[in-house]
Amino acid sequence: MTSLFRSSLQGVAAPPTALEAGDGYQTVRTPDPKAKPTRLSAHDVCVFYGDKQALENVSIDIPERSVSALIGPSGCGKSTFLRCLNRMNDTIEGARVTGEITLDGENLYSPQVDVVELRARIGMVFQKPNPFPKSIFENVAYGPKIHGLARSKSELEEIVVTSLKRAGLFEEVKDRLHAPGTGLSGGQQQRLCIARAIAVGPEVILMDEPCSALDPIATSIIEELIDELRENYTIIIVTHSMQQAARVSQKTAFFHLGKLIEEGPTERIFTNPRDKKTQDYITGRIG
């Protein structure tokens, strides 16, 4: 513990160089023989907010068409890591990312990558539902419109309707597609945000505590939805609910103080964690 602390303190004074990278700690990994092929892969990712290091040498493979859960106590860097995956950290003043993240083998941080295209491929749903102050229809239609995905009005309408159906919201809002999206209930708004994200046809969907503002019923609706979406999308979800992680995910990664402590098949992590900190966290002793 003390030695870990010291290395993180050194990180504050001078960010670790590539040579030092990886020698601070070792992530406990349990390979999953049943896992689908890797889609996204992070390698030695470090994130700094100004001088403060928020993530230390995180390396993980995310399999396609499955749900991966990121868990860990508050402030451990889950959201930070998630934001690295679609480069939303670029929008934060003073944030700096080192290391490598690849989508289908292509480095997201290479200069050739256009963030606009990247974010169309990797969509995001936020902790707090944040529909645009526009109509339900326009909320969902916005992404396809700016990316030029619909060639005609009817095509656009079709995209909107299928996205709303996929997000399990269509039946509830079909009579008021032109009512403001902000007038929906919290759970409906979150499903609207999911519909908005999938309308662009992303390959990966990042969800940052999508249910934290919702009641148990709305939560279970969204969990079912995630389970269905898994067939077509690669999903990464941050959650504070161990039960939720256990219910929806196939792979789980446990973060602690900016480090990826342990990752592996969800079942394995929850039934038989190998690291002491993971064990303490899932049994409720830290966090």
Partner 1 sequence: MTDSFTVSSSGAERRRARIRAGLGRRHLFERIFRGLGVLAILIALALVGSLFWMVISKGYPAFTQANLETEVYFDPDIIKVDPPPQQQPGQSAADFRAQRLAWQRQVTMSNWNRVVEQAVRAAVPPGLEITAREATALVDAGERHRLRDIFVENPGLLGERLPFTMLASADVDNWLKGTIDRDLPDERQQLSPATRALADQLLESGAIQFKFAWHIFTNVDSRSAPASAGLAGGLVGSLYMMLVVVLLAVPIGVASAIYLEEFAPKNRLTDLIEVNINNLAAVPSIVFGLFGAAVFIKYIGLPLSAPIVGGLVLTLMTLPTIIIATRSSLRAVPPSLRQAALGLGASRTQMVFHHVLPVTLPGILTATIIGVAQALGETAPLLLIGMNAFVAAVPGTPFDQSTALPAQIYLWQGNENRNFFEARTSAAIMVLLTLMITMNAIAVLLRQRLERLK
Ligand X SMILES: Nc1ncnc2c1ncn2[C@@H]1O[C@H](COP(=O)(O)OP(=O)(O)OP(=O)(O)O)[C@@H](O)[C@H]1O
**Is residue 117 within the footprint of partner 1 (CB under 8 A)?**
yes
**Is residue 132 within the footprint of partner 1 (CB under 8 A)?**
yes
**Is residue 176 within the footprint of partner 1 (CB under 8 A)?**
no
How many residues touch ligand X (CB under 6 A)?
11
**Is residue 140 within the footprint of ligand X (CB under 6 A)?**
no
**Judged by CB under 8 A, which stretch of 1-9, 102-110, 157-165, 196-204 contacts partner 1?**
196-204
Nearer to partner 1, 31 or 183 (CB): 183
One residue of 52, 128, 176, 276 binding partner 1 per CB under 8 A: 128
**Judged by CB under 6 A, which stretch of 7-15, 34-42, 72-80, 100-108 contacts ligand X?**
72-80
Nearer to ligand X, 80 or 252 (CB): 80
How far apart CA 200 and CA 248 sit, in angstroms, is 23
How far apart CA 35 and CA 264 sit, in angstroms, is 10
Q: 141 is written with which tokens?
A: 């239609």
How far apart CA 73 and CA 76 sit, in angstroms, is 6
Helix/strand/coil (H, E, C) string of the chain? CHHHHHHHHHHHHCCCCCCCCCCCCCCEECCCCCCCCEEEEEEEEEEEECCEEEEEEEEEEEECCCEEEEECCCCCCHHHHHHHHCCHHHHCCCEEEEEEEEECCEECCCCCCCHHHHHHHEEEECCCCCCCCCEHHHHHHHHHHHCCCCCCHHHHHHHHHHHHHHCCCHHHHHHHCCCEHHHCCHHHHHHHHHHHHHHCCCCEEEEECCCCCCCHHHHHHHHHHHHHHCCCCEEEEECCCHHHHHHHCCEEEEEECCEEEEEEEHHHHHHCCCCHHHHHHHCCCCC
Least CB distance to ligand X at residue 270 (A): 19
**Is residue 80 within the footprint of Mg ion (CB under 5 A)?**
no
The entry of Mg ion, partner 1, ligand X, none that residue 54 binds, CB within 5 to 8 Å by partner kind: ligand X
The entry of partner 1, ligand X, Mg ion, none that residue 86 binds, CB within 5 to 8 Å by partner kind: partner 1
The entry of ligand X, partner 1, Mg ion, none that residue 76 binds, CB within 5 to 8 Å by partner kind: ligand X
One residue of 74, 112, 152, 154 binding ligand X per CB under 6 A: 74
Nearer to Mg ion, 79 or 244 (CB): 79
Least CB distance to Mg ion at residue 260 (A): 15
One residue of 66, 79, 190, 249 binding Mg ion per CB under 5 A: 79
Residues that bind ligand X (CB under 6 A): 49, 54, 72, 74-80, 92
Residues that bind partner 1 (CB under 8 A): 86, 88, 91, 93, 115-120, 123-124, 126, 128, 130-133, 142-143, 146-147, 180, 193, 196-197, 200
